[in-house]
Amino acid sequence: MQTWVIGNWKQNPATSHEAGALVQGLLAAIDAKSAPIACQLMVAPSSIHLAAVSTQIKGTLLLAAAQDISAHSDSIGAYTGDCSAQQVADAGATWILLGHSERRQYHQESHEALIQKLSCALKQNLGVIFCIGETQAQYDDDQTLDVIDEQLSLIKDLLEQQLEIGNPLSERLLIAYEPVWAIGTGKVPTVAEVSATHQHIKQTLAGFSAELANISVLYGGSVNADNAQDFATDSMIDGALVGGASLKVESFLAIADAFGQNSE
Ligand code: PEP
């Protein structure tokens, strides 16, 4: 299966100059490699850097994702501060991160708002990296699979709405399993725990629709150059969503190499 390594830059770096230098460093390091990277690489810059980064990576193997879109309209409208799916696509994004725990926590993104964002993204032909995962308290209470089922039910709701969404959902959906307690903390679940959770996610999606039987499921949460290989060798883990370690060329490419070795 194709593997994916996606860098979520969050609200980093501080300047457009630094964002440009990061992309330049990445492209130079990729070019200098003796063998091509075998996984699909993607970066998700902040909205303000998206257009410039997209221009820089045009014609390369790197893809660009946006970190958020408006829930209110996929196109234009009186929604101060929002960027629509059409606008981020026009700026060069082909994918979008949705459901990230930081957006759920700091922006109170609800199930309903996420359905609206998901349908806006799909209407504009963006691929969606849908993030799910339990908090520390939920993990401690053994509620991981219940939380995931609840979060994944959004995909079922979307299918039931039978929206006109153009290309098949199976080609435009990735799931990122990110335990909230592992994000930016240096704490990680065991590979066996992640593997079992991914198996559950894959079975659940296949139960929603046969079309979703082969959706890729990525792991996210404190992935770094040292632990990437352990995750990459598990057949249930189809890639990584990487925060902190995606801001350094060396660590991001080390993670890409680990998953590239396990790409088919
Ligand atoms: C993330 O925010 O999606 C993430 C996985 O962050 P980190 O790699 O820094 O834990």
- DSSP character for 173? E
Bridge partners, residue 219, by sequence: 177, 240
129 lines ligand 1 (CB under 6 A): no
Quick check: 36 pLDDT over 70?
A: yes
End-to-end Cα separation, the chain, in angstroms: 5
The answer to whether the predicted template modeling score (pTM) of the entire model surpasses 0.85 is yes
Q: pLDDT for 99-147, tens place per residue?
A: 999 999 999 999 999 999 999 999 999 999 999 999 999 999 999 999 9
Q: What residue owns the CA closest to ligand 1's atom 2?
A: 243
184 lines ligand 1 (CB under 6 A): yes
Handedness of CA 41, 214, 225, 241 (dihedral sign): positive
| Alpha carbons 238 and 177: distance in angstroms, whole number | 11
| Alpha carbons 143 and 65: distance in angstroms, whole number | 30
Q: Using the mean position of ligand 1's atoms as its centre, give its distance from the Cα of residue 184 in Å.
A: 5
Q: Using the mean position of ligand 1's atoms as its centre, give its distance from the Cα of residue 166 in Å.
A: 31
| Alpha carbons 8 and 22: distance in angstroms, whole number | 13
CATH class of 4-14+38-74+83-263: alpha beta
Q: What is the pLDDT of residue 137?
A: 98
Q: Using the mean position of ligand 1's atoms as its centre, give its distance from the Cα of residue 242 in Å.
A: 5
Residues of 167-192 as b/e, b for ≥16 C-beta within 10 angstroms?
eebeebbbbbbbbbbbbeeeebbebe
What are the structure tokens assigned to 80, written together? 């101060």
Q: pLDDT for 61-79, tens place per residue?
A: 999 999 999 999 999 999 9
Q: Where are the beta strands (DSSP E) in 118-220?
A: 127-132, 173-177, 217-220
65 lines ligand 1 (CB under 6 A): no
Q: Catalytic residue at 178?
A: yes
- DSSP character for 212? G
Quick check: 59 pLDDT over 70?
A: yes
Q: What angle do CA 135, 138, 144 make, to 5 degrees?
A: 95
- Write down the catalytic residue from 102, 134, 178, 198: 178
Radius of gyration of the chain (CA): 17
Q: Catalytic residue at 107?
A: no
List Cβ neighbours of 91 (8 Å cut-off, separation of 6 or more). 47, 50, 51, 54, 66
Q: Which atom of ligand 1 is nearest to the CA of 242?
A: 8
Spatial contact of 158 and 118, defined as CB atoms under 8 Å apart: yes
SS3 state of residue 95: strand
Residue with tokens 């994000």, as numbered in its chain: 183
| Alpha carbons 222 and 204: distance in angstroms, whole number | 25
Closest CA to 201 of 210, 187, 185, 213: 213
What mean pLDDT is predicted for residues 195-199? Answer: 98
Share of the chain above pLDDT 90, in %: 91
Q: pLDDT for 161-192, tens place per residue?
A: 766 666 688 889 999 999 999 999 999 999 99
